[in-house]
Amino acid sequence: MADTVVGANPDPHVTGDDPDRRDFIHIAAGVAALGLVGGLAWPFIDQMNPAGDTLALASIEFDLSKVEPGQQVVVKWRGKPLFVRNRTPKEIQEAIQGDHADLRDPATDESRHKPGKANWLVLVGTCTHLGCVPTFGGGEYGGWFCPCHGSVYDTSGRIRKGPAPKNLEVPTYAFLSDTKVKIG
Ligand code: FES
């Protein structure tokens, strides 16, 4: 390859016998080849990068400080509703009592919240039957009720009655501070 490049060089003072010049041409040709590969590779690599808006949705931070006890905020995350609920002591107590019930999808209440943060429940707000959005305060377990086909969840978001097979999902999340969580 170097000979071809040297032969094409219009500079009459440079010949293929000049070792320094030849090395330079070798290096230059190598760099050009790498540049070509790089140029070809980039569009493929670039396509593999998630778009900025996808990255933005991958995780969200949420400020809990304005959610009072007994309140729930619905946050959109990855196209789904998330329930962020500040549970009252009564709701927590009922959820702990539910640990001893015959649960369809067994899970303790403690396993569904972060240690020492029993009041905060973060759940994916779609019914595990067919994906409707349940409402809080309906049904006989004091938690969520899905009006679509009558699934009833308790104050831990566990399925207690109706056709839904699973508890409301707990997404991956972490406390960044006492008042801030990162979800996703
Ligand atoms: S989607 Fe909730 S009960 Fe069917």
Give pLDDT tens digits for 58-111: 899 999 999 999 999 999 999 999 999 999 999 999 999 999 999 999 999 999
Instruction: Note whether 66 and 95 are same-domain residues.
Output: yes
Instruction: Note whether 8 and 82 are same-domain residues.
Output: no
Instruction: Note whether 131 and 102 are same-domain residues.
Output: yes
Which CATH number do you get for residue 117? 2.102.10.10
Instruction: Note whether 43 and 63 are same-domain residues.
Output: no
Question: Any idea which of 8-12, 49-53, 97-101 has the lowest mean pLDDT?
Answer: 8-12
* Ligand 1 geometric centre to CA of 40 (Å): 49
Annotated catalytic residue, options 13, 26, 129, 149: 149
pLDDT for 143-184, tens place per residue? Answer: 999 999 999 999 999 999 999 999 999 999 999 999 999 999
* Ligand 1 geometric centre to CA of 126 (Å): 9
Instruction: Note whether 67 and 116 are same-domain residues.
Output: yes
Domain containing 139 equals: 55-183
Atom of ligand 1 nearest to the CA of 164: 3
Instruction: Note whether 43 and 68 are same-domain residues.
Output: no
Instruction: Note whether 93 and 36 are same-domain residues.
Output: no
Instruction: Note whether 88 and 122 are same-domain residues.
Output: yes
Instruction: Note whether 67 and 101 are same-domain residues.
Output: yes
Residue 57: the pLDDT is 66
pTM of the prediction?
0.71
Q: Which residue's alpha carbon is nearest to atom 3 within ligand 1?
A: 149
Confidence of residue 138 (pLDDT cuts 50, 70, 90): confident
Instruction: Note whether 77 and 37 are same-domain residues.
Output: no
Q: Which residue's alpha carbon is nearest to atom 4 within ligand 1?
A: 149
Atom of ligand 1 nearest to the CA of 130: 1
List, as one string, the DSSP characters of the chain: -HHHHHHH---TT--TT-HHHHHHHHHHHHHHHHHHHHHHHHHHHHHHSPPHHHHHHH-EEEE-TT--TT-EEEEEETTEEEEEEE--HHHHHHHHHHTTS--SS---SGGGS-TT-TTEEEEE-S-TTT----EET-STTEEEEETTTTEEEETTS-EEESS--SPPPPPPEEEEETTEEEE-
Atom of ligand 1 nearest to the CA of 146: 2
As for how many domains the chain has, the answer is: 2
Instruction: Note whether 12 and 97 are same-domain residues.
Output: no
Instruction: Note whether 22 and 92 are same-domain residues.
Output: no
Active site residue 113: no
